Amino acid sequence: MQEMMKRYGGALTAIILLLTTFWILVLLILPNLTMFESSFRPYLPVLDIGGPKDTYSLGNYMNIFGGEVPMSIFGIDVMVSARVKIFILTVFYSIVVTVIAFLLAYPLSFYLAKVVSPKSLPTLFLLLFVPLWVSEVLRSFAWYVILTLKGPLNGILMQIGLIEREIRWIEGYSPVVITLVYAYVLFMLFPLFNAMQSLDSNQIEAAEDLGSPWWRTHWRIILPHAKPGIASGAVMVFMLSAGSLLVPAIIGSTSGNWFTQTIQGVMLEEQNWNGGAAFAFLLLIVCTLIVVLAMRVFRVKLSDIAK
């Protein structure tokens, strides 16, 4: 604080602090608090707002239930409401996206951090970054084109003889999963790369010198060291995926709805902001709980992620 005063002078420090406070308070905390408050109030005609019917309840949250449809969870057939089904599938496929992103990012970040010569690193990073210069909308549409029935992906796979008939990619949740992995894999890659780069290469060599085969070196030395990076990457990819609206809206098939689309429907089509707010908080709360649970299971501390 004193350091800041010395460097920028009183006036500038005041402006910086004021703007930051404004951003956090007015643009972040207040809207969320308003949303949180309104999520407990019923959706009423304007005249009734503030009237006797305007009382706090969990009604909006309970709206997720109702309208039972069949669903199979790990082979067990149950009846759940349509919205709960979409909610569960959204969370499940967000986890799938996170796992696939990890499986792709781990070898790539190891290659970048420990194998490739530091001289070619800037070029490789540029190649990774270039797609980010294109808007997410365009990139999602690009995947739509790639994945269509008569599209380039099926064409190439048929050409090299891997498949005999076109695969219907845009069906169920696969297009959303594919595009989300593509959109967010870098959020996994960079923390992983950072974590691996901070590993002393001598440790890898020491393990090999002691007779360790490559897979054991990864399992016992590199993976544990990269754990904080994996954790922060996984939290990022999982939260972004579960909260993504654009990708499922563009590329999602009718049989692969994302819960964010449900929220959007309630808010914009039903014009029920109270109900939408409740659903949005439901998603946030459940996702946060899953992250906390995963951190417990994998023994990751919050301070590890913040690194």
Residue ranges that bind another protein, judged by CB under 8 A: 200, 202-203, 205-213, 216, 220-221, 224-225
Query: How far is it, in rounded angstroms, from Cα 94 to Cα 88?
Result: 10
* Residue closer to another protein, measured from CB, 168 or 225: 225
Least separation in angstroms between CB 192 and another protein = 17
Answer for the pair 52, 61: CB distance below 8 angstroms, yes or no. no
Q: Are 244 and 260 in contact (CB under 8 A)?
A: yes
3-state secondary structure at position 49:
coil
A 10 A CB-CB count for 183 gives 23
Query: In the complex with another protein, which residue's Cβ is closer, 126 or 210?
Result: 210
Shortest spacing between CB 33 and another protein, in angstroms: 41
In the complex, the smallest distance separating the C-beta of residue 190 from another protein, rounded to whole angstroms, is 22
The answer to whether residues 131 and 242 touch, using CB atoms and an 8 Å cutoff, is: no
Q: CB 102 → another protein: shortest distance, Å? A: 19
What lies within 8 Å, CB to CB, of 53 at 6+ separation is 42, 44
Query: Least distance in Å: CB of 203 to another protein?
Result: 5
For residue 305, what are its two tokens? 């992620």
The residue (of 180 and 207) whose beta carbon lies closer to another protein is: 207
Provide CB contacts within 8 A for 43, sequence distance 6+. Answer: 60, 270, 272, 273, 274, 275
Residue at 44: amino acid letter? L
> Whose Cβ is closer to another protein: residue 116's or residue 268's?
116
Q: Considering the complex, state which of residue 229 and residue 248 has its C-beta at the smaller distance from another protein.
A: 229
Cα distance between residue 227 and residue 47, in whole Å? 55
Q: Report the alpha-carbon distance of residue 99 to residue 67 in Å, rounded.
A: 32
CB of 104 to another protein, least distance (A): 25
| Segments in 148-245 forming alpha helices (H) | 152-159, 174-197, 201-209, 214-217, 223-242
DSSP state, 81?
A: E
Q: Least distance (Å) from another protein to the CB of residue 213?
A: 7
Pick between residue 220 and residue 301 the one whose CB is nearest to another protein.
220
Q: Which lies closer to another protein via its Cβ, residue 110 or residue 238?
A: 110
Closest distance of CB 306 from another protein, Å: 19
Closer by beta carbon to another protein, 166 or else 208 = 208
Provide the β-strand partners of residue 70: 79
